[in-house]
């Protein structure tokens, strides 16, 4: 019995040596998958950067610089409970540095309750911030901090020549996740939406780059790394992105900065309008070329002083309800109104105290009205 066991063992050893000596499946082959970087999968090694596309490298390069100049803004406000007890509450948003001296652009609604403003930089250092200027009509605000060193900052680009389809990058602090990058394209231009307190924001950039709660005030950049917009609003449930976000064109902010430096305030006309043309215009007995129908005139505004008229009754036209009976703006300073954001684009080139000439249609006839522009609301 003992010899039989020894004989079988000897045969097994001999067989093992025969197999391993005639194939490549030796000890070296057995231990290779585990000894090679501890991996349990097969396949070629991936170079760290050789596999990145030029677009990916562009994203990486922009982020390395831009996220250092993007900041988190915390606004502390005091609210009351149902028992009238006062308690502090913090709202968060984003912003970005536009100079090494600590000037920061953001949205007005991010700092609307500016009792206590705190800015957190990318290195997690914190500073108290003061409000230098705000443009409520364009939802813009400028802050100042007193940095202890020179800070990185972003270049302001040009939003006038944007094209649908061009790449954009958004950086901000969605849901408190600082330094988050998302990418997309310009989805549309000249979008009008309703902002906070039922204000109308005109001529916005629409993008599918993911923008969520907390992104407000952060930069929207082009492929050169220049800021072409300020992320402002989204359409989506509970502050989440569904691929429809909006940014304020950066040229509006550049005008605010120019006016601040010159000691001027931004101009304001003081009307709410809806675009009307074609069948809608024909149904309302208006010229079919259409224009911007004034639905409301702000009391005490430049438009009010000039005698412009808003809607007097609400009617149902197709699937839409319109406030009708007001003036139809057909041209501004001799330029036909062919865009929904014609007013904001015209005012972008003017200052408070300047005059605009409006061609309007009222009660079956066309007339020209000169309006001396008023000032936007105070800081």
Q: Which are the catalytic amino acids?
A: 109, 139, 216
How many angstroms separate the first and last alpha carbons of the chain?
A: 103
The length of the chain is 379
Eight-state DSSP code of residue 153: -
- The rounded distance, in Å, linking the Cα atoms of 284 and 86 is 51
HSE (side-chain half, CA atoms, 13 Å) at 162: 32
Q: Return the closest-CA partner of residue 170 out of 102, 234, 254, 74.
A: 234
- The rounded distance, in Å, linking the Cα atoms of 348 and 331 is 16
- The rounded distance, in Å, linking the Cα atoms of 168 and 222 is 5
Q: What angle do CA 168, 172, 177 make, to 5 degrees?
A: 130
Eight-state DSSP code of residue 24: S
- The rounded distance, in Å, linking the Cα atoms of 164 and 147 is 38
- The rounded distance, in Å, linking the Cα atoms of 327 and 123 is 54
- The rounded distance, in Å, linking the Cα atoms of 374 and 353 is 6
Eight-state DSSP code of residue 138: G
Strand order in the sheet with 126-128: 126-128, 116-120, 70-80, 86-97, 103-106, 140-144, 130-135
CB atoms within 10 A of CB 305: 13
Q: Return the closest-CA partner of residue 189 out of 235, 229, 143, 130.
A: 229
Q: How far is CA 70 from CA 99, 194, 201, 225, 285, in A?
A: 12, 26, 24, 13, 51
- Structure token digits, residue 305: 């002083």
């Amino acid at each position: 019995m003992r010899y039989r066991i020894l004989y079988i063992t000897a045969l097994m050893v001999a067989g093992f040596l025969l197999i391993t000596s005639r194939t490549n499946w030796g000890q070296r082959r057995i231990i290779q998958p585990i000894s090679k970087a501890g991996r349990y999968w097969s396949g070629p090694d991936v170079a760290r950067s050789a596999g990145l596309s030029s677009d990916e490298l562009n994203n990486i390069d922009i982020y390395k610089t831009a996220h250092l100049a993007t900041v988190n803004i915390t606004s502390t406000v005091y609210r009351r409970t149902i028992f009238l007890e006062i308690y502090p509450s913090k709202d968060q948003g984003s912003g970005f540095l536009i100079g090494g001296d600590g000037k920061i652009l953001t949205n007005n609604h991010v700092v609307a309750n500016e009792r206590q403003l705190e800015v957190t930089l990318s290195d997690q250092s914190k500073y108290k911030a003061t409000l230098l200027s705000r443009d409520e009509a364009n939802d813009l605000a400028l802050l100042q901090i007193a940095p202890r060193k020179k800070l990185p900052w972003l270049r302001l680009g040009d939003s006038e020549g944007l094209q649908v389809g061009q790449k954009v990058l958004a950086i901000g602090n969605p849901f408190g996740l600082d330094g988050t990058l998302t990418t997309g394209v310009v989805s549309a231009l000249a979008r009008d939406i309703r902002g906070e307190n039922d204000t109308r924001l005109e001529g916005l950039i629409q993008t599918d780059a993911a923008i969520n709660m907390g992104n407000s005030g952060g930069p929207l950049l082009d492929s050169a790394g220049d800021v072409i917009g300020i992320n402002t609003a989204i359409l989506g449930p509970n502050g989440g992105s569904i691929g429809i976000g909006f940014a304020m064109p950066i040229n509006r902010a550049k005008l605010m900065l120019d006016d601040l430096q010159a000691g001027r305030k931004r101009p304001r006309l003081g009307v709410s309008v809806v675009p009307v043309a074609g069948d809608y215009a024909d149904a309302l007995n208006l010229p079919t070329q259409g224009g911007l129908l004034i639905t409301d005139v702000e009391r005490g505004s430049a438009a009010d002083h000039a005698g412009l008229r808003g809607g007097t009754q609400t009617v149902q036209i197709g699937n839409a309800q319109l406030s009708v009976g007001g003036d139809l703006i057909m041209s501004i300073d001799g330029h036909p109104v062919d865009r929904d954001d014609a007013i904001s684009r015209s005012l972008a080139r003017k200052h408070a105290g300047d005059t605009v000439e409006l061609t309007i249609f009222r009660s079956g006839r066309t007339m020209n009205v000169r309006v001396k522009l008023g000032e936007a609301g105070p800081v």
